Chain A
Amino acid sequence: MKTIGITTTVPIEVLLAAGYRVIDLNNLFITSEDYGKYIEIAERDGFPKSSCAWIKGIYGAVLENEITEVIGVIEGDCSNTKVLIEVLKQKGIKVYPFSYPHSHSLSDVKKAIKDFMSLFGVYETQVELIRKRLNDIRKIAKRIDELTYIEGKVNGFENHLYQVSLSDFNGNIDEFEEMLLKKLHEIEKRSPVMRKVRLGYIGVPPMTGDLYEFVEKFDSHIIYNEVQREFAFPRAENAKDIYEQYYDYTYPYDIGFRLEKIKEEIKKRKIDGIIHYTQAFCYRAIEDIIIKKELDVPVLNIEGDKLNHLDARTKFRIEAFLDMLSDLKGC
């Protein structure tokens, strides 16, 4: 089976219909023990200090894992991806661009996905069959999410992990489904753990996975992972076709649409405060201005760079933030 790497969530149904094994390069990068080495490779090849660790990590991961084909999302995600795939192309890797149209109109989304399908020579009916199959798995992930914020049986890190993994279904849908079901059964049997402060996490998935465990030390837990949850398409069941499904995806379009969904979740999940993670050198850090204005719960912006764990200063800031949030909730 041919393998293809993706730089962020794309209409995976199309790639599966075309017979590919799909690997999310972000996951490949961040779960690797060699994550630091991947960044190194990119810097040695000339990537500037001032480019984000994800871009460099993806680059290193592609080369080191001998990935030969890559989809780069050049609109709706990161403009740096545009040039990343050009560099990859020069290295002999076959690259395909994909765009989420900024207009966020259904007809433009439809056109983008249709183009994507013809690029890989697959038909809508094939794609829809796969979509149905995937939606069964998405349902399990959604259930795990509910078990997090309603029943308190899943911790923040697990929630993050099982949502984020749906960007590529860990490269094998059947195995992934089996693993997820097993996990679900185990989780259902757990006794709930409720913590005092209910936190939401928004922004790109963190480089610093220890964040989840760290906040728990202060009787707080993350019960909402915004982008990770979007990767799992929690509203996929309501979409009548693939176009609608990807139209209803918040992350790659304008921030207004994203904020609408975030606000709904804050209300539904009774969230006390938000941790907004941004990556050093990422344009998304500027979005913090809008986010802080729009959300009426306290927002803490933390920034990750190359380390895969929280630095002392960030820990200190999180602690102070949570301490005061906790006061507001009562002792």
Chain B
Amino acid sequence: MRILGIDLGSREVKVVLMEDEKIIKMFKVSTMSFYRDYCNFDGKIVVDLQKLSIKDVDIAISTGYGRNNTDLRKFEPINEIKAHVYGAIYQSGLKDFILLDVGGQDVKIVKVEKGIISDLELNDKCAASCGRYLENMANVLEVSLDELFKHYKDPVELNSTCAVFSESELIGKIAEGVNLESLCSSVNFSLYKRLKPLLTRFKGRKLVLSGGVARNSALIKYLSADYDEVISLDYPQFNGAIGCCYYGRIRSKKE
């Protein structure tokens, strides 16, 4: 049984192929090139699997930001939150946890109990609490994201609640002569502070991180104070696509 999962993100499209419950292929292409080079349009979007060098697919499931653009022909679209939860269950082997997914443009927090969603919170209105904020700030500091993610010590306060104002606040701090490590820590810490109120309703023991920030070790450090265990998924960026495959597997078993 070969199951294909595709997660249509705003900037990248993630593709995962699973065979007999194992991931056998995993790659991503830019959203632009996915639609341009690998899809045709015929009333509905048709994915050219040959061009993606994928063969013999039994079930295809898609998910993505917003339901509309997940509607690919011959694919069953599923809701994005569910896809991420299934991905986290597959990757972590857990059934009870809190999932924090900080994507480029949104934040999702989901409580999972007995393998089923029991609570959730979405934030897709505020740029200051998502991945894009970190990218912008890294740009201002002229460091790579990997570099930015390393620093957690001695943060100074960045008080602005808004991503745009934070930028000028950060520039102010640079001008004051705060050192680069500290500036990096400050950016990470400010993200943590914005996530914290969202997480208050989601107290629990295990926090699973997915999305781009799962690589952010500074954030993990801060969050570790609030949970017994903070777990980063192995393939945080592929989590949604993996979840599609996992869902396909449940479906095929029940049929």
Contact = CB atoms under 8 A, between A and B. Distances in A.
Is this pair of chains taken from one and the same complex?
Answer: yes
Nearest to B122: A316
Interface string A318-331: 00110111011111
Contacts of A327: 82, 247, 250-251
Name B's interface SS.
mixed
B254 A298 contact: no
Interface in B113-139: 113-120
A330 B114 contact: no
Interface in B228-255: 247, 250-251, 254-255
B113 A299 contact: yes
Name A's interface SS.
helix
A331 to B, nearest CB: 5
A320 B255 contact: no
Nearest to B96: A292
Contacts of B115: 298, 324, 328
Given A330-B251, A330-B255, A331-B254, A324 B120 contact: no
A95 B148 CA distance: 68
B81 interface: yes
Contacts of A292: 113
A206 interface: no
Given A327-B247, A330-B251, A331-B255, A320 B113 contact: no
B31 interface: no
Contact of A301 (B82, B118, B247): B118
B97 to A, nearest CB: 14
A274 B113 CA distance: 12
A250 to B, nearest CB: 23
Interface in A301-327: 301, 316-317, 320-321, 323-325, 327
A13 to B, nearest CB: 40
A329 B250 CA distance: 9
A320 B82 contact: yes
A320 B115 CA distance: 12
> What is the size category of the interface that chain B forms with chain A?
10 to 19
B79 interface: yes
B85 interface: yes
Contacts of B120: 316-317, 320
A273 B117 CA distance: 12
A300 interface: yes
A273 B116 CA distance: 10
Contacts of A329: 254
A317 B117 CA distance: 8
Contacts of B250: 327-328
A297 B118 CA distance: 13
Contacts of A273: 116
A183 B116 CA distance: 37
A326 B35 CA distance: 32
A331 B251 contact: yes
16 contacts: A299-B114, A300-B116, A301-B118, A317-B117, A317-B120, A320-B117, A320-B120, A321-B117, A323-B117, A324-B85, A325-B116, A328-B254, A330-B255, A331-B251, A331-B254, A331-B255
Interface of B: 79, 81-82, 85, 113-120, 247, 250-251, 254-255
Q: Which 3 A-B pairs have the closest CB atoms?
A: A330-B254, A320-B117, A298-B116
